[in-house]
Amino acid sequence: MTIEEIHARVLSSSAVLDDVRAEIGKVIVGQENIINRLLIGMLANGHVLIEGVPGLAKTLIISTLARVFAASYKRIQFTPDLLPADITGTLIYNQKTGEFTPKKGPIFANFILADEINRAPSKVQSALLEAMQEHTVTIGDTTYQLPEPFFVMATQNPIEHEGTYPLPEAQVDRFLMKLKIKYPSLREEKLILDRMVSGAEILVEPVLQPLALKAMREVINEIYMEDKLKDYILNLVHATRHPERYPRISAMNGLIQYGASPRATIYLARAAKAHAYLEHRGYVIPDDIKAIGKDVLRHRIILSYEAEAEQVSCEELITRIFDEIEVP
């Protein structure tokens, strides 16, 4: 298939996403970047972790997305006393029949909000993350397939650490992107105030069916990416592991304890294709990789004690890498 044919398919298939964003915009004021990143996460068949203070409409965003896609939605509030079975489900004994019957948990939905995931112990976090990776859940001796599409948006509160269980690096790595949600501007907050004070119900029309995502992902897989751009992605990821091999960023040597994993390479390519699709393009350009680079890499780099002592942030290092690695 030629690039022109791929581009035509992308134009035809992705046009409806403008309607999706318009419907979401009826409810959500601002936060276009977060909404676009969530759509990229869904299109790339990944999951998203969002970090932000309470009250920034994280729950409203994901529930609105589910309504626009006419998909099932469940919110799981993570607490310290939560058990894995509270998420995945368990077997219930039926006294009349003398048999155990499965009681499926809230994870059996298309869209899942894992609210304040770091408030639950690691055993509970692992139950969710295993389901995210395998798209299956085992209850008793039976393995059940989760509904497709299956998309998880997990949230973390960055300002409270007492009574929380930080996600291990190996588990955080399973998220396609980690996003940081910011406060609205003064103008945006005025619009929020006007909408919420009126008390009028805002109706959102379903634009797509859940299975439409599968067809979109098939088109995204065909989006053209030059070998030079694949090499660019490889150099970006390898620069996080071995900065000393790249003269322009060799000064960063010693600031990174562990670089990004091969999963970052895969996710950068998949997210770049999804970003191109969102822009109605049948081919990837360097700006696609740059646009989603920080979101894909920020949770995959572990800083050294030296970096922490010098108060160098992960964001600064990623910016330096993107500024110095040559663009094809």
Within-domain flag for 217 = no
* pTM exceeds 0.75: yes
Query: Looking at residue 161, what is its pLDDT?
Result: 64
C-alpha distance from residue 243 to each of 250, 293, 325 (Å)? 5, 17, 10
Domain boundary, last residue among 212, 245, 262: 212
Do 140 and 272 share a domain, yes or no? no
Query: Looking at residue 50, what is its pLDDT?
Result: 92
177-205 pLDDT, tens per residue? 999 988 888 888 888 888 777 777 778 88
Within-domain flag for 243 = yes
C-alpha distance from residue 234 to each of 19, 215, 217, 237, 276 (Å)? 35, 28, 23, 5, 19
Residue stretches of the chain with pLDDT short of 50: none
| Cβ(91)–Cβ(139) below 8 Å | yes
Nearest residue to 262 (alpha-carbon basis) of 223, 234, 290, 285: 234
Supply the range of the domain harboring residue 177: 15-212
153-166 pLDDT, tens per residue? 999 887 766 667 77
Do 32 and 56 share a domain, yes or no? yes
Query: Looking at residue 74, what is its pLDDT?
Result: 93
**Tokens at 144, concatenated:** 């059940």
d(CA 12, CA 230): 26
C-alpha distance from residue 30 to each of 21, 27, 203, 252, 273 (Å)? 11, 10, 18, 36, 24
Domain boundary, last residue among 192, 212, 232: 212
Query: Looking at residue 162, what is its pLDDT?
Result: 64
Supply the CATH number for residue 298's domain. 1.10.8.80
Domain boundary, last residue among 163, 187, 212: 212
Query: Looking at residue 217, what is its pLDDT?
Result: 93
To which residue do tokens 């660019």 refer? 232
Within-domain flag for 5 = no
Query: Looking at residue 328, what is its pLDDT?
Result: 82
Query: Looking at residue 28, what is its pLDDT?
Result: 85
Within-domain flag for 78 = yes
Q: How many domains does the chain have?
A: 2
Query: Looking at residue 30, what is its pLDDT?
Result: 81
Within-domain flag for 21 = yes
β-partners of residue 48 are 153, 177
Do 247 and 160 share a domain, yes or no? no
